[in-house]
Amino acid sequence: MSVHLVKGDDPILRADVVEAVVAELVGDDDRSLTVEDLTVPGRGTEGEPGGAEAREAVVAATVNAAQSPPFMTARRVVVLREVGNLLAGDVGPLVACLGDLLDTTDLVFVAGGGTVPPALSKAWKEAGVSEHGAARTKGEDVLHAALEEAGVTLRPDAARAVLERVGGEVGRIPGIVDLLGSTFGPGAALSADDVAPYLGEAGGVPPYELTNAIEAGDIARALEVLQRVLTASGPQQPKPMHPLQVLAMLHNNVRRSARLDAPDVRNVDDAIAALGGKVKEFPARKALDQARRLGPEGIREAYALIAQADLDLKGARAIPEDAVMEVLVARLAALNGRSGGQATRRGGGGRTRGGRR
If asked whether residues 173 and 111 sit together in one domain, one would say no
**145 and 128, same structural domain?**
no
> Are 40 and 19 part of one and the same domain?
yes
Is there a domain that residue 351 lies in?
Answer: no
Q: Which residue in 109, 82, 113, 85 sits closest to 98, CA to CA?
A: 109
Residue 234 lies in a domain: yes
SS3 assignment for 150-191: HCCEECHHHHHHHHHHHCCCHHHHHHHHHHHHHHHCCCCEEC
Most confident option among 130-134, 166-170, 331-335: 331-335
105 pairs with which residues across the strands?
Answer: 76
pLDDT at 214: 92
Residues found in the chain:
357
pTM: 0.48
Range of the domain at 266: 208-346
User: Looking at the domain assignment, is residue 231 inside a domain?
Assistant: yes
Number of domains in the chain: 3
Q: Are residues 34 and 71 in the same domain?
A: yes
154-179 per-position pLDDT tens digit: 888 888 888 887 777 777 788 888 88
Q: What is the mean pLDDT of the chain?
A: 83
Average pLDDT value for residue range 252-278: 86
The tens digit of pLDDT for each residue in 203-257 reads 666 778 888 899 989 998 898 888 888 887 665 555 678 899 889 989 988 988 8
Burial class (CB in 10 A: 0-12, 13-18, 19+), 97: buried
Give the integer Cα–Cα distance in Å for 355 and 319.
49
Position 353 in a domain: no
Closest CA to 198 of 184, 210, 212: 184
Over 90: is that where the pLDDT of 303 sits? Answer: yes
For 67-111, the pLDDT digits (tens) are 999 888 889 999 999 998 889 999 999 999 998 888 999 999 998
CATH code at 109? 3.40.50.300
Instruction: Look at residue 318 and tell me if it is in a domain.
Output: yes
Q: What is the CATH number of the domain that holds 314?
A: 1.20.272.10
Kindly report which listed range (48-52, 61-65, 120-124, 258-262) carries the lowest average pLDDT score: 48-52
Judge whether 120 and 62 are in contact, CB under 8 Å.
no
Report which of residues 146 and 49 the model is more confident about: 146
Regarding whether 156 and 69 lie in a shared domain, the answer is: no
HSE of 80, CA atoms in CB hemisphere, 13 A: 28
Q: Could you say which of 133, 152, 183 is where a domain stops? A: 133
